[in-house]
Structure 1
Amino acid sequence: MNWSLIANLNGYVLICLGLLMVLPTICSLIYKEDVVYDFLITIAICLVVGFGLSKIKRSRRDFFARDGMIAVGLCWITASLFGGLPYFISQEIPSYVDCFFEAVSGFTTTGSSIVPDVTALSKGILFWRSFTHWIGGMGILVFIQAFIPKANERSMHIIRAESPGPIIGKLVPRIQQTAAILYSMYMGLTILCIVFLLVGGMPLFDTLCYTFGTAGTGGFSISPLSVGEYNNLYYEIVITVFMLLFGINFNLYYFLLLKKFKSVFKSEELRTYLFIVFASMILIALNISKMYGGFFEGLRYSSFQVATIISTTGYATTDFNLWPMFSKSILLCLMVVGACAGSTAGGIKVSRFLIILKKIKLDIQRLIHPQKVSAITMDGKIVDEVTVQQILTFFGCFILILLSCILLVSLDNLDFETTISSVFTCIGNVGPAFGLAGPMGNFAMYSDLSKIVLSVAMLVGRLEIYPILIFLFPLFKIPDLVNPKKFYKHSN
């Protein structure tokens, strides 16, 4: 294991984190808040520790897949530990466990919060909370690969470990250029969202905070009522459209820039994603139409909530906790499914579900026609068996981790709906749950143990299980319950 290189990467993460905190510091200066000193202290800590780690001499330069997985897992934990310092040093969030939870929720673009009243927070802290969504949306280490000239072919291990989705490849031959293209498109869409909201009359501070959450598909709000505070149809339409856009695979935007329209239209994942979105919007609108006085008013609220849940953003314009069970069940399913691979959204991803469904169909066909030779295809290309097996393993791990987290969180003895949905929303990086943790509630009622468990669930969901599992695996030894060699030795 190349620990010296992993330490260097952690150092670069802390240096970038310190430099990025300059923006909320400027925000605090503009509003003449005392929290500016807390940000300066945190920046100094990040830069000192970061420079120290970045100067550790490398024992060797080789960097393999396992190194990349562990580096990504450790870097995200490091970023969350230091990213929560402004909350703690300012004492706007007194408990460090709560600060860690809030930071993890920000960087993983989950948006679940332990803050009972966000209006009590300073502007600088509110800005930083939302900005962590934007930083984590495309990936902390992808940002470093894009702007620090140290990337090489080994860096693909990092991008694959940090990017969501089952199949990650290079857009262009050079890794650094690939990362730069991704961030250029990310920034371009972010700027477009800012422009549209400003044109509609939203204040600049509000625009930046809500755009950061929309781009990163996060969900931290600056109001207890979230976007519903404005009761503005134009804002809702703009944010709905951009939430859905950020839920689309960024590779498809690159194909659009290259005018490869056929590659975009051939995307089965995109077509399925759009079908799920529009079908869910209509079904929920029909189900809640009586609550809002008609189908079209119901469609207004259903469209926003479907977009915010499937993109795992987590904003709200109404308390969907009061919706009929059918509508809430659809939202719960959307939490699990998520949006497209290669986007800033969370969830299992549409492409994985498509491949699993095709695998089920293929196995049934083989039972009926054992001699039939067929393969799973996506967008006209054959999906190799290794990829299919990895997806099935991912799904199995997802279920096991989900059940384990539910058992641990249930020790708090909260109601069934709150407990189950809280774990679902954290591992899916969605944000609001149902029950006490609904869109008008928060996660403050959980114990420190549950908050740590839910923080791990958020990291596991954002990094798609393997980087965190590989990082934690040496700490645990799975017992060999049935060892054939021992069995035969005993028998003899």
Structure 2
Amino acid sequence: MRMQVQPGPIMRLPLFLLIWGVAALSMLLPSIHALVRDNHDVSRAFFYSSILGVFVVAMIGLSLGARRPRYGSLGQLLSLLGTFSVLPVFLAVPFHDALQTTSFLNAYFDMVSAITTTGADLFPDFTRLDPSLHLWRAQVGWMGGLVMWIAASAILAPLSLGGFEVTARGEPGRAVKSSVQSDVVDPRRRLLQVTATLTPIYVGLTGVVWILLMMSDERALTALCHAMSVMATSGISPVGGMTGAQAGVAGEVVLFLFMFFALSRLTFSSDTVARGYSRLDKDPEFRIGLLIVVSIPALLFLRHWVASFEVDAPEDPVLALRALWGSLFTVMSFLTTTGFESADWEEARQWSGLGTPGIILMGLAVIGGGVATTAGGVKLLRVFALYLNGLREMERLVHPSSVSGVGAGHRRIQKDGAFIAWVFFMLFALSLAVITLALAYLGSGFEQSMVLAIAALSTTGPLIDVVGEEPIQLISLGAGAKAVLCAAMVVGRLETLAIIALITPDLWRN
């Protein structure tokens, strides 16, 4: 008979408390970074906050003792909500203390933006922040991405949330043998197993990106921040994005290749598909993502030739290639909700003849990346489910008595997947309308409110800087508007179905 290994006393603590403790210990990294640079004020701010956080977590942990949590996965989902809404209060303490030239509300907003992997830039003048603060922002975004990576499999999948409500066999480990079924059913044990499995992958991939960027002549701090940002799809940069990077096209190629991990979970795992259909080239999310990444830059590229056909303008092949690459990188970046803008994007805009192609970038961000990845947005799998339903409805118009058959490539979608996806789309649209109206009521223009709402709900903060003719100055918004955006970023990260699950009394009673 197999013996059950019980979690230690630390692992029996509430999930939110454990995340708080890890966040407190992680403050030592920017503290050491500032100490090496002889910036003792910033170093002390992070060091004292780390000690204070560890002390508070230890005292609360001792007071709880061996008390076990009453709720399983739903309680963990509540801890996840606290991580994205309450924990930034603590994360903002060293940031506010070290910067000293902004309000605590601005510091809290910036930490919510980072941990939800939104990456909305409250301080457009990146020279205003100390390099250690840039490291902290990227690090918080990276940790937020890791939390979502783990939570997708350990928390959202068992509750059929986060896109798993569309999949046919979305819960990791559902097909395990009965001898280990108790390990899978226990929410805490499942969380420990998923954490132990995914954390080394996440850390290892980040390290590979960091090394490749430094090999491309990128500065160490910039390379590390960009590596963290591309894995978490946060788009946080200490140099203002790709235009301030030294790696050039080589660095963009590295980031472009690793953005594929946000298109589909099958790039690193096969636990969201039916058995025997885990090939990446058969994955609908990956194929739709590739179709979008190839087709939109091609259309923008061809638009130039159509416009210049009548005037017979001379062409520069090098300029054409730069424009094509700028479109390709930027489309991939915003589809994965990373939000990095290629250094050649301006050239691509002029080449295509589109002065402000913001509606294209907003549409890409709304579509988003793959299920169970760090990307935000609606998710490609839901789009695919609606696409299949549309094909079926058109088939029924032509052949009303036809019987639909499920092909091998469609077995990832459950029977009612299209209906559930449509419900999510309606909830997303309703959330977008409510947030837009709230921001407009608080003084923002309608167009500005729409851009801010889409950027927050899709967790693609850089949209705010690239969509319109002029970037939106977030720091000039009122306290009410910033509070609305903070709530929108949390809703966009957890998704509306998860929020509804948390406020449903029947689920708590069961």
Query: When the two structures are superposed, what TM-score results if normalisation uses the length of structure 2?
Result: 0.79
- Please give the alpha-carbon distance, in whole angstroms, between the structure 1 residues aligned to 2:92 and 2:163: 27
- Please give the alpha-carbon distance, in whole angstroms, between the structure 2 residues aligned to 1:400 and 1:70: 23
CA contact (8 A) 1:134 1:216 kept: yes
Aligned pairs (5 A) from 1:381-396 = 381=411, 383-396=413-426
CA contact (8 A) 1:272 1:350 kept: yes
- Please give the alpha-carbon distance, in whole angstroms, between the structure 1 residues aligned to 2:278 and 2:326: 33
- Please give the alpha-carbon distance, in whole angstroms, between the structure 2 residues aligned to 1:350 and 1:60: 38
- Please give the alpha-carbon distance, in whole angstroms, between the structure 2 residues aligned to 1:159 and 1:93: 42
- Please give the alpha-carbon distance, in whole angstroms, between the structure 1 residues aligned to 2:38 and 2:160: 37
Q: 1:445 to 1:379 in 2, by over 3 A?
A: farther
Q: CA deviation at 1:468?
A: 3.4
Q: CA deviation at 1:138?
A: 2.6
Give deviations 1:311-359, integer Å, cap 9, x for gaps: 1111223576987268332212101101111221111111111101222
Matched with 1:464 is 495
Matched with 2:8 is none
Question: Does the alignment pair 1:421 with 2:421?
Answer: no
Q: CA deviation at 1:393?
A: 2.2
Q: 1:248 to 1:140 in 2, by over 3 A?
A: closer
Give deviations 1:180-238, integer Å, cap 9, x for gaps: 332222222212211211111111111111111111111111124x2112362212222
Aligned pairs (5 A) from 1:126-137 = 126-137=134-145
State which drifts further: 185-194 or 56-65.
Answer: 56-65
State which drifts further: 204-213 or 50-59.
Answer: 50-59
- Please give the alpha-carbon distance, in whole angstroms, between the structure 2 residues aligned to 1:46 and 1:393: 41
Matched with 1:309 is 334
Q: 1:210 to 1:435 in 2, by over 3 A?
A: closer
CA contact (8 A) 2:218 2:245 kept: no
Q: 1:473 to 1:457 in 2, by over 3 A?
A: farther
CA contact (8 A) 2:359 2:467 kept: no
Matched with 1:142 is 150
1:444 aligned partner, one-letter code: I
Q: CA deviation at 1:463?
A: 1.4
Matched with 1:208 is 224
Q: 1:158 to 1:264 in 2, by over 3 A?
A: closer
Question: Does the alignment pair 1:183 with 2:196?
Answer: no
Task: Work out the number of aligned pairs and report it.
Answer: 455
- Please give the alpha-carbon distance, in whole angstroms, between the structure 2 residues aligned to 1:396 and 1:272: 22
Q: 1:83 to 1:118 in 2, by over 3 A?
A: same
Q: CA deviation at 1:131?
A: 0.8
Matched with 2:38 is 32
2:43 aligned partner, one-letter code: V
Matched with 1:479 is none
2:155 aligned partner, one-letter code: H
SS in 2 for 1:98: helix
Q: CA deviation at 1:412?
A: 4.3
Question: Does the alignment pair 1:78 with 2:86?
Answer: yes
Question: Does the alignment pair 1:253 with 2:278?
Answer: no
Query: When the two structures are superposed, what TM-score results if normalisation uses the length of structure 1?
Result: 0.82
Q: Specify which of 170, 173, 189 is matched with residue 172 of structure 2.
A: 170
Q: CA deviation at 1:157?
A: 3.3
1:313 aligned partner, one-letter code: T
Q: Specify which of 416, 427, 442 is matched with residue 397 of structure 1.
A: 427
CA contact (8 A) 1:268 1:378 kept: no
State which drifts further: 195-204 or 457-466.
Answer: 457-466
CA contact (8 A) 2:261 2:373 kept: yes
Q: 1:100 to 1:219 in 2, by over 3 A?
A: same
Question: Does the alignment pair 1:374 with 2:376?
Answer: no
Q: 1:248 to 1:344 in 2, by over 3 A?
A: same
State which drifts further: 325-334 or 367-376.
Answer: 367-376
Q: Specify which of 260, 277, 297 is matched with residue 281 of structure 1.
A: 297
- Please give the alpha-carbon distance, in whole angstroms, between the structure 2 residues aligned to 1:216 and 1:288: 34
- Please give the alpha-carbon distance, in whole angstroms, between the structure 1 residues aligned to 2:368 and 2:148: 21
CA contact (8 A) 1:70 1:470 kept: no
Q: CA deviation at 1:277?
A: 0.8
- Please give the alpha-carbon distance, in whole angstroms, between the structure 1 residues aligned to 2:144 and 2:160: 10
- Please give the alpha-carbon distance, in whole angstroms, between the structure 2 residues aligned to 1:351 and 1:177: 26
CA contact (8 A) 1:288 1:324 kept: no
Question: Does the alignment pair 1:199 with 2:215?
Answer: yes
SS in 1 for 2:163: coil
Q: Specify which of 51, 54, 62 is matched with residue 58 of structure 2.
A: 51
Aligned pairs (5 A) from 1:430-469 = 430-434=460-464, 442-469=473-500
Q: CA deviation at 1:58?
A: 6.5
1:95 aligned partner, one-letter code: S
Question: Does the alignment pair 1:235 with 2:251?
Answer: yes
Structure 1 stretches of 5 or more lacking a match?
146-154, 475-492
Q: CA deviation at 1:262?
A: 6.0
Q: 1:297 to 1:420 in 2, by over 3 A?
A: same
2:34 aligned partner, one-letter code: S
Q: Specify which of 14, 18, 24 is matched with residue 18 of structure 1.
A: 24
Question: Does the alignment pair 1:113 with 2:121?
Answer: yes
* RMSD (Å) for aligned C-alpha atoms: 3.3
Matched with 1:9 is 15
State which drifts further: 299-308 or 167-176.
Answer: 167-176
State which drifts further: 40-49 or 61-70.
Answer: 61-70
Give deviations 1:244-276, integer Å, cap 9, x for gaps: x231323432359xxx89622221111111111
State which drifts further: 419-428 or 228-237.
Answer: 228-237
CA contact (8 A) 1:312 1:430 kept: yes
